[in-house]
Amino acid sequence: MAAETAGIRLEERWREILSVHARTLGEIDRALHPHGLGASDFEVLDLLATAPPEEGEQCRVQNLGGRVHLSQSALSRLIARLERDGLVVRSLCREDRRGVYVTLTRKGRDLHAEVLPLQRAALARALGG
């Protein structure tokens, strides 16, 4: 009985986490939509904008994968869209031809700075901060 009750509590906690996540993504998406961005788009821009200087110049796409919680193919499509919009540029890694770097452009850096307060306000609304 105790194990069953603990299992139910875990399920309830898990569903609450999923609910908070979905609500937060929705808030961010609504706030950034007028700027042509979604939550995942912003996450990539934010990671590139806030990377340490030596990493911020060029970041391997592979390193972004584990941080934005998208499949490799979804991340590739997202980066291709950001590149079409002039927010990032991709280049091949000279040391490893299979590696691809992604770099934030000036336009991407400017848009990130513009929407950062909107994203933070959406987080505060969703998470009560």
What is the structure's pLDDT at 4?
77
What is the structure's pLDDT at 100?
80
Burial class (CB in 10 A: 0-12, 13-18, 19+), 124: exposed
What is the structure's pLDDT at 1?
67
CA–CA dist 2, 113 (Å, integer) = 51
Q: H/E element holding 35?
A: none
Q: Which domains does the chain have, with CATH numbers?
A: 11-128 (1.10.10.10)
Helices (H), 33-71: 39-50, 53-56, 61-68
Q: Tokens at residue 70, please?
A: 């998208």
pLDDT in tens, the chain (129 residues): 677 788 889 999 999 999 999 999 999 999 999 999 999 999 999 999 987 655 444 567 777 877 888 888 999 999 999 999 999 998 877 666 667 888 899 999 999 999 999 999 999 999 986
Residues 6 or more apart in contact with residue 127 via CB below 8 angstroms? 20, 24
What is the structure's pLDDT at 129?
66
Phi and psi, residue 89, nearest 5°: -130, 145
Q: Give residue-wise pLDDT tens across range 23-52.
A: 999 999 999 999 999 999 999 999 999 876
CA–CA dist 112, 23 (Å, integer) = 22
Tell which residue, 68, 55, 66, 69, has the closest CA to residue 102: 55
